[in-house]
Amino acid sequence: MKWLNPIWAASVWRHLHGFVLLYPALGIITIFLGGVAAWGAFNWSLELTNTEKFCVSCHEMKTHIFSEYKKSSHYANRTGVRASCPDCHVPRDWGHKVVRKIAATNELFHWAAGSIRSDEDFKAKRMKLAQKVWAGMKASDSRECRNCHRNDFMAGGKQTKKAKIMHDLAGPWNMTCIECHQGITHSLPVEFDKEAVMDRLHDRMEKDKVNCRSCHENLARPPAGDGWDKD
């Protein structure tokens, strides 16, 4: 190994050293250009790994992820605005993005180790993975959702009645998007109890004396046409 040879290294250093001392301006420019090139390469690699194509190069294998996404309204909709994988999973601002990318090296290890090889492996692990995403989104106050959606930009009058009521309550209840909107793009893990979410909301409504009839014209039945979020 040439690099480890101390005599060789010393001679390289002598040359570099002399170069830097003799031509300080050139030395600084060289270091500066080297820095710019490294910086550019780093950001370029950030961008390359921030595409749906890159994500799907691994996640298409889990038949679920990509095919479910293709059926969701975030993939194709009336107005043609798409949210792709990084839009929801990778922060936009540089600092948070770098942190997420470093954390994502964990995915590389799991991928290399082949911790999810089959459909069954994926199903068995899905709840754990989803919980990790929910926890992250709750901690960031659904930051990535808010890149596109904002409560104060919502034309409440154009939303369904129950959406409007819930969004008005979300503020005072201190709840963030992901606490009500699980499973908007992917199917929910089988262990997840969506009804429990609804029950908790109902308990809260009862406590706060929300008018039940604003959603239930007929209190004996759930509101017409309901399924809460569609999958």
Q: Which one, 98 or 129, has the nearer CB to ligand HEC? A: 129
Q: Which one, 27 or 167, has the nearer CB to ligand HEC? A: 167
Cα separation, 96 vs 145, in Å, equals: 15
Q: Which one, 17 or 200, has the nearer CB to ligand HEC? A: 200
Give me 46's structure tokens: 């950030």
Q: Which one, 15 or 204, has the nearer CB to ligand HEC? A: 204
> Smallest distance, Å, CB 42 to ligand HEC?
16
Q: Which one, 40 or 229, has the nearer CB to ligand HEC? A: 229
> Smallest distance, Å, CB 170 to ligand HEC?
4
Cα separation, 74 vs 231, in Å, equals: 11
> Smallest distance, Å, CB 168 to ligand HEC?
9
> Smallest distance, Å, CB 95 to ligand HEC?
17
> Smallest distance, Å, CB 120 to ligand HEC?
14
